[in-house]
C-alpha cells in the first residue's frame, strides 16, 4: 500500500535560518505529492504540490521537488519567519489498492521558529 514517511519534530530554528523537512514515500502508481500546513487553531491548508516527476512546487518561499528516483519530496525554505511556525504534513494522492484516489498523509513535523 501507499505510505509517507517524514522527519520527526519538533524542528526548532531561529528566524532567517534555512529549513529542510524530509519526506519520502512509497506508492504503487504515479502519485501526486503535496505539502499541507496546519497553523495553530486552523484547518489543513495546501502549501504546494507537484503532479509528476521533476516538477517543483513552490509557494510563500517554500519549495519541494518531486524526485522519482529517490521517492522524495523534501520541503525547503531559504529564510524562515516566526509566522512559519506550524505543523507541516507531506501527503500523496494515488489510487492505491482500492482504486479510490485519496490523500495518504505522513505523521507531521512541527516547526518552531524563534525570533
Partner 1 sequence: GAGVSQSPRYKVAKRGQDVALRCDPISGHVSLFWYQQALGQGPEFLTYFQNEAQLDKSGLPSDRFFAERPEGSVSTLKIQRTQQEDSAVYLCASSPLGVAGDTGELFFGEGSRLTVL
Binding site for partner 1 (CB under 8 A): 4, 31-32, 34, 36, 42-46, 49, 51, 89, 91-95, 98, 100-108
Nearest residue (CB) to partner 1, 13 versus 95: 95
Whether a cis peptide bond, with omega within 30° of 0, leads into 10 is yes
Nearest residue (CB) to partner 1, 16 versus 102: 102
- Rounded distance, CA 94 to CA 97, Å? 9
Rounded least distance, CB 78 to partner 1, Å: 25
Nearest residue (CB) to partner 1, 17 versus 87: 87
Number of separate helices (H) and strands (E) present in the chain? 0, 12
Rounded least distance, CB 112 to partner 1, Å: 15
Rounded least distance, CB 103 to partner 1, Å: 6
Contact 33, 6 (CB under 8 A): no
Closest CA to 10 of 65, 88, 82, 73: 88
Amino acid at each position: 500500500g501507499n505510505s509517507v514517511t517524514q522527519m520527526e519534530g519538533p524542528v526548532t530554528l531561529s528566524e532567517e535560518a534555512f529549513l529542510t523537512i524530509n519526506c519520502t514515500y512509497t506508492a504503487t502508481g504515479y502519485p501526486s505529492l503535496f505539502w499541507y500546513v496546519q497553523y495553530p487553531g486552523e484547518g489543513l491548508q495546501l502549501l504546494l504540490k507537484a503532479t509528476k516527476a521533476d516538477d517543483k512546487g513552490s509557494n510563500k518561499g517554500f519549495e519541494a521537488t518531486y524526485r522519482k528516483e529517490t521517492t522524495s519530496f523534501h520541503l525547503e525554505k531559504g529564510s524562515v519567519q516566526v509566522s512559519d511556525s506550524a505543523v507541516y504534513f507531506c501527503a500523496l494522492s494515488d489510487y492505491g489498492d482500492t482504486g479510490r484516489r485519496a490523500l495518504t498523509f505522513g505523521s507531521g513535523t512541527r516547526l518552531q521558529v524563534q525570533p
